[in-house]
Amino acid sequence: MKHLYLQGPAAARCGLLGWFLAVASLFVPAGPSQAQPRVTARSADFSLFDNAVAVLPNGNLVVADPGYSPDTTRRGMGAVYLYDGRTKALISVLTGSTADDQVGSGGITVLANGNFVVRSPDWNNGAAARAGAVTWGSGTRGVSGVVSAANSLVGATTDDQVGNSTPVNQFADDYHYNYDDVVLNKEVTALPNGHYVVSSPYWHNGAAANAGAVTWGNGNTGIRGVVSAANSLVGTHPNDQVGNNSPDNNTSDYVDNTSVRVLTNGHYVVSSPNWRNRAAPQAGAVTWGNGATGVRGAVSAANSLVGSHPGDQVGLGVTELPNGNYVVSSPQWKNRAAATAVGAVTWSSGQTGATGVVSAANSLVGAHSFDYVGNGGVTVLPTGHYVVSSRFWHNGAAANAGAVTWGNGRTGVKGVVGAANSLVGSHAGDDVGANFQSYYDHDYEEPPTDGRGITVLRNGHYVVSSPEWQHGAGAVTWASGATGARGVVSATNSLVGAHRDDQVGTGVVALANGHYVVRSPRWQNRAVSHAGAVTWGHGQRGVKGAISAANSLVGVHANDRVGLGVTALANGHYVVSSPLWQHRAAARAGAVTWGNGWTGVKGAVNAANSLVGAHADDQIGNDASVDGYIEDRVRNGQVTALPNGHYVVSSPYWRNGAARMSGAATWGSGTAGVRGVVSAANSLVGSAGGDLVSSAGVTALPGGRYVVCSPHWANGVAAGAGAVTLGNGTAGATGGVSAANSLVGTTGNDLVGSGGVTVLATGHFVVHSPSWKHGSARPAGAVTWGSGTAGVHGAVSPANSLVDFQRDEYTAGSEVLALPNGNYLVSTPSWPNGAVARAGAVTWGSGQTGTQGAVSAANSLVGTHLNDQVGVGGVTVLATGHYVVSSPFWKDSSAAGAVTWGSGTAGVQGRVSAVNSLVGTNGSGEEGVEEGQVAALMNGDYLVLTHGTPNGPTGPGVVLTPGRGTAGVTGGVSAANSYVSPPGTASPR
């Protein structure tokens, strides 16, 4: 018999596996009143179930059971098992020796050579509680016996917590785990060559508590014995916390807390910003380690790059370069004891590292307190070079002038930041290189590169945005990716605004051809405020001078806000959205302008160069609400780029004569655009007020065609009947929406298409209409297949749709999932099987023809009992293209819970049972395949993790059941088809 065991209810289970089950209970509803479907396509990986189970490259399985208790005196001793993936034979068992050792609670790390490492940070070394252990195991032989210094890297002092960088301070229960504090598997770093690195920042070096250690381990043999300076890189002072990159006063905008960074050449770097340099606490250190041999001994200036003043915190950030070198960011570094946060950025060789004290001789540094050099982050260029952003840098007495510095990826950049080596501002508050969009513009699109103001172009060059330059006039500067840009920002090297708060460079969009476009929607056109401008920039030399109609597309009315959105097309051209643009006296008529990606578009927006509205509040190109602050609700989803280079403009607020908010969707040529007033002659339009055509968006299909969703469209007197229309990707769709060109509803509030459109791999699509009514006042729901070349027309009905999958209060309880082979699934856990409420169903649909008619056992996998909720546990897509359905609440007289395999090419139909599913073997509702979790494996097979299955007289346990990706697994869970734990003692209930 093959074994895996965990005791007690989910709320009190110990260890990582118990933690996983506790978290899983947040996603799987506790009962019918909370039921919601969870349809997800999960990617395969080595580590499964939050690192409690690992599948090795050779197919063997490693299973951690930190709650394993062989008897009542050794509760939570823990065990880790290696199983033969073919035969299910138990190869090895690693266990703890005392209560609460929780062996395996830190998870399993799979190494590149196929071996593995087990973390047990709570392991007790005699009287030393929570000393911690990290154990290497062979991928073929495993590791057997009791964890000890003979087979593991271990701590020797209480709370050394070897292999753990997350402190466990106040335990949540008797099992020593505060689930909110757990950070999984960040303490063992696998190297590309098969070796590994262990972080233990709370290790004690004699009387020095939390001195910390980082240990290199051989991936072929492991490392054993007590952590020491002989086998590890160590700190020597209390709270050095070597290997912990989480300082208490981390005020940098762009650092991350990764303690061990693997370089592209296979070596690694250890960040220890809390390391103490003699009398200087938190001076910080960054240490290079050889990936083949590691690094040992005490951290010092002889083996590390270090700070020399209190609070320098060297190593807050480390950025790997493509060539194997790296850059260390230390924005808190001081150039003298009396200074504060001057900042330094240090280039380091990936072959030897950097050693010694940080200084202007080896680093790019600031000169003033609060320069914070490097605070804005390091941007890696495609050329292998890098760019440092320092928005708070002072230019003499000008605070926060800002600087952006190019660094050579092979040699770095050194010295004090200045106009000789950097692009800099000259006035207080210029904030060169910072682009945190203003309150008025923050919802238009994503801020460029997280506010750093650096946009990398396709050709390897870059653009620096500084919208706060010169009291908010703004500037955008092109820079060479091979040499950078230097000097003071000005009209001679940058595109600039001429008025306060022009905020030139609110956004920069990189085009597919290497050129770029600058958005400046608040630009002032002489005396006209917020007219807006969009400027094309050459990707090889940029654009310079003041914005004007001679070099930009501009607005001419107050609040035109030209350039609220820019959409890059696949062919290198672009489209500008200006939904607030004024057409003559019609405020907010809106305009959308095509721009040539090689030359740009210049001059005032008008009907001769743009698609425009003719009425007030037509808001061409705006698909968002206009209530309240209009500009805060404009999104950049109003133009949909098609794969063939063309595009579609959504204008749901367009007015059709006297009919307000009829809506329109307009196709535009990707090589010439579309111009003139929106009308039925050039657009798909609504005819009644409130039709809001295109309000639910436009979905691009792979071939270039597209689908327009208009769930509020009225079918005669049936308001909100809804419509979904296919558009030709090379010519568009024009005229009024009707049953002749669209899939439509026939009853008020059918809201056809309100559930969205799912694109299939075949190029076809599926329309979800959960509110569609089938001859009653209550929603029945419909899912309709549509041809990607011909669409689907006419009224939704059982003849063209899967219908009647919901008839109770769970009208939102259905989802559509596309399969990799082009077919699809409809999951409806709330489906009623006749008078049986919430029996649940999962229906397979052909990607070539769809599936039609009412949901039933003839076309779906269905439940037969009250609250079976088939599919509520989720759908997992396998690498084979098949799928697995989890139904944790399914039950009959002798079983509880079910997991069902389905063919990706034919589906699975009929009632859930032991004939077609893996089912629990006890129907009490507490045991069985309750909270069953499914993980897809890379070979196409899958694993089912369940708990509560009977395990003899000792009480309930946990089971891991493998399923074949081509046929699944059926019948009751048992030792014959599953990995089942050795007998132990159940945790108290």
Q: Which of 900, 32, 16 is nearest to 24 (CA)?
A: 16
* Contact of 910 with 931, CB cutoff 8 Å: no
CA distances from 167 to 100, 102, 648, 794 (A): 16, 15, 53, 62
pLDDT at residue 255 above 50? no
CA distance 111 to 312: 35
Q: What percent of the chain has pLDDT over 90?
A: 76
CA distance 959 to 785: 39
pLDDT at residue 392 above 60? yes
pLDDT of residue 812: 40
Residue 799 in 3-state DSSP?
A: coil
**Other beta carbons less than 10 A from residue 514's beta carbon:** 17
- Mean pLDDT in residue range 786-808: 90
User: Residue 32 gets which letter from DSSP?
Assistant: G
CA 487 to chain centre: 38
Kindly state the tokens that stand for 259: 């303690």
User: Residue 982 gets which letter from DSSP?
Assistant: P
pLDDT at residue 10 above 50? no
Backbone angles phi, psi at 564, to 5 degrees: -60, -30
For 60-92, the pLDDT digits (tens) are 999 998 888 888 899 999 999 999 888 888 999
- Sign of torsion over alpha carbons 321, 326, 331, 335: negative
pLDDT of residue 70: 87
Q: What does pTM read for this prediction?
A: 0.89
Residue 451 in 3-state DSSP?
A: helix
Residue 245's pLDDT band, with cuts at 50, 70 and 90, is: confident
Kindly state the tokens that stand for 148: 């000890």
DSSP assignments along 880-921, one per residue: TS-EEEEEEEEEETTEEEEEEEEBTTTB--EE--TTTEEE-S
Kindly state the tokens that stand for 17: 């596996």
- Mean pLDDT in residue range 257-263: 87
Q: Which of 453, 435, 463 is nearest to 539 (CA)?
A: 463
- Calculate the average pLDDT of the chain: 87
Find tokens 């749709």 and name the residue: 801
CA distances from 363 to 261, 330, 376, 696, 830 (A): 20, 10, 16, 52, 62
Contacts of 968 (CB under 8 A, 6+ apart): 882, 884, 900, 901, 902, 918
CA distances from 420 to 383, 417, 463 (A): 22, 8, 19
pLDDT of residue 59: 86
Contacts of 835 (CB under 8 A, 6+ apart): none
**Other beta carbons less than 10 A from residue 971's beta carbon:** 16
CA distance 792 to 743: 6
Q: Which letter, b or e, does each residue of 184-210 get, where b requires 16 or more Cβ atoms within 10 Å of its Cβ? A: bbbbbbbbeebbbbbbbbbbbbeebbb
Sheet containing 698-700, strands listed edge to edge, beginning at the edge strand earlier in sequence:
698-700, 706-710, 723-727, 742-744, 794-795
Amino acid at residue number 123: W
Q: Which of 58, 109, 117 is nearest to 83 (CA)?
A: 58
For 382-391, the pLDDT digits (tens) are 999 999 999 9
Kindly state the tokens that stand for 297: 């001994």
Strand partners, 970: none
For 708-746, the pLDDT digits (tens) are 999 999 999 999 999 999 999 999 999 999 999 999 999
Kindly state the tokens that stand for 925: 């509702």
Contacts of 389 (CB under 8 A, 6+ apart): 254, 374, 375, 376, 377, 378, 379, 404, 433, 434, 452, 453, 454
- Mean pLDDT in residue range 865-889: 94
Residue 44's pLDDT band, with cuts at 50, 70 and 90, is: very low
Residue 895's pLDDT band, with cuts at 50, 70 and 90, is: confident
pLDDT at residue 6 above 60? no
Q: Which letter, b or e, does each residue of 1-31 get, where b requires 16 or more Cβ atoms within 10 Å of its Cβ? A: ebbbbbbbbbebbbbbbbbbbbebeeebbee
**Other beta carbons less than 10 A from residue 762's beta carbon:** 17
Q: What percent of the chain has pLDDT over 70?
A: 84
Backbone angles phi, psi at 179, to 5 degrees: -60, -30
For 900-944, the pLDDT digits (tens) are 999 999 999 999 999 999 998 764 433 335 445 888 888 888 999
pLDDT at residue 435 above 90? no
Contacts of 597 (CB under 8 A, 6+ apart): 511, 512, 513, 515, 536, 569, 571, 572, 573, 574
CA distance 78 to 95: 6
**Other beta carbons less than 10 A from residue 880's beta carbon:** 18
For 436-467, the pLDDT digits (tens) are 653 334 333 333 334 579 999 999 999 999 99
Kindly state the tokens that stand for 110: 């799979």
Contacts of 30 (CB under 8 A, 6+ apart): none
- In a 13 Å sphere around the CA of 441, the CA atoms on its Cβ side amount to 30
pLDDT of residue 852: 97
795: left (phi over 0), alpha (psi -120 to 50) or beta: beta
* Contact of 538 with 602, CB cutoff 8 Å: no
- Mean pLDDT in residue range 322-342: 95
For 490-547, the pLDDT digits (tens) are 999 999 999 999 999 999 999 999 999 999 999 999 999 999 999 999 999 999 999 9
- Which of 196-200, 278-282, 546-550, 830-834 shows the lowest per-residue confidence on average (mean pLDDT)? 830-834
CA distances from 846 to 531, 764, 833, 977 (A): 51, 10, 23, 32
User: Residue 874 gets which letter from DSSP?
Assistant: E
Q: Which of 176, 279, 295 is nearest to 242 (CA)?
A: 295
CA distance 932 to 306: 50
Find tokens 């060539």 and name the residue: 323
pLDDT of residue 805: 65
Amino acid at residue number 619: Q
Between residues 348 and 10, which one has the greater pLDDT? 348
